[in-house]
Amino acid sequence: MQPKEIEAIHRDYLKQEAKSRCWVFSTQCLLFLVFLGLWELLARTNTINALIFSYPSKIWAQFWSQLVDGSLLPHVGMTVWETIVGFLLGTLLGAVIATVIWWSPFLSRVLEPYLVIANSMPKVALGPVFIVGFGPGLMSVIAMGCAISVIITTINVYSGFREVNQNYVKVVQTLGGNKRQIFRLVILPATIPTLLATLKVNVGLSWVGVIVGEFLVSQQGLGYLIIYGFQVFNFTMVMMSLAIIAVVATLMYQGVALLERRLTSQFK
């Protein structure tokens, strides 16, 4: 096959891929618009209880009103800051613990059952402990966001370390490499896909931890708005807060996905 023919086939493939992505995105947008339109219609015709479920135009009006009067952005900023810090701390701490466990076979045998127990424990039940230990403020909310993701990070990353092809490890050992070199040259590069997949999971887990923490102690944040809206029976505020959480969490997830694509392209 001639180079020009190969190039033409490649161009056709790229066009088909672009067309496929366009169709997928268009279908996603259409489904979302149909969902919003159906929700609006059902609420306005009293098919569903508009007081409880609200409807998109009312949620938008609530959002715009609080955005204009300046009362919304401090809550959004606080929750996003707490989530990012909890997300980073949980991921970094989990990766460090997994590395320490992998480094010491003795520790791995000792701590493995405790990791299983910690993973099965409902992390939100630790909320009162964090409130007493860190005080009813920012630190307890961040601790909750970190705690809910650190164990799953440790387990996933450690499992990724153990699943690395041992033949690669033996090659480095044969060439005189020490454990640090094995980790840097073999274990860490091979585990990057696992770490990136864990980051995607941690986005959602961190949001859950932070929102639960704000339910318990915070006087500011989207979790506080949800509780306040429930207390004053303003479910439009509740739905608005949930919509904002969905949008910002999606943006965080897409940021991790972009990082994954860039790192994957570098290692190809």
pTM of structure? 0.85
* Amino acid at site 28: Q
Which pLDDT score is estimated for 75?
A: 93
Output the six-digit token pair for 159: 């499992």
Length of the chain: 268
For residue 267, give every residue at least 6 positions away whose Cβ sits within 8 Å of its Cβ, in sequence order, or none. 189, 192
Instruction: Please tell me the predicted confidence (pLDDT) of residue 149.
Output: 87
CA nearest to 257, candidates 203, 191, 188: 203
> Distances from the Cα of 2 to the Cαs of 9, 12, 13, in angstroms?
11, 16, 17
DSSP secondary structure letter of residue 125? G
Q: Write down the pLDDT at residue 19.
A: 82
pLDDT of residue 33: 94
Least Cα distance to 88 among 223, 198, 211, 243 occurs for: 198
Dihedral angle over CA of 254, 255, 256, 260, nearest 10? 90
**First CA to last CA distance, the chain:** 25
- The pLDDT score that the predictor gives to residue 238 is 93
What six digits make up the tokens of 4?
A: 């020009």
Q: State the alpha helices, DSSP H only, in 54-187.
A: 56-68, 73-103, 105-120, 127-134, 138-162, 166-174, 179-182
In this prediction, the residues of the chain whose per-residue pLDDT falls under 70 are 1-6, 8, 10, 265-268
Residue 252, sorted as left (phi over 0), alpha (psi -120 to 50) or beta, turns out to be alpha
User: Where do we find the tokens 């405790």?
Assistant: 114
Rounded to whole angstroms, how far apart are CA atoms 76 and 245?
Answer: 9
Cβ-based neighbour number of residue 229 at 10 Å: 19
**pLDDT at residue number 267:** 56
pLDDT reported for residue 79: 93
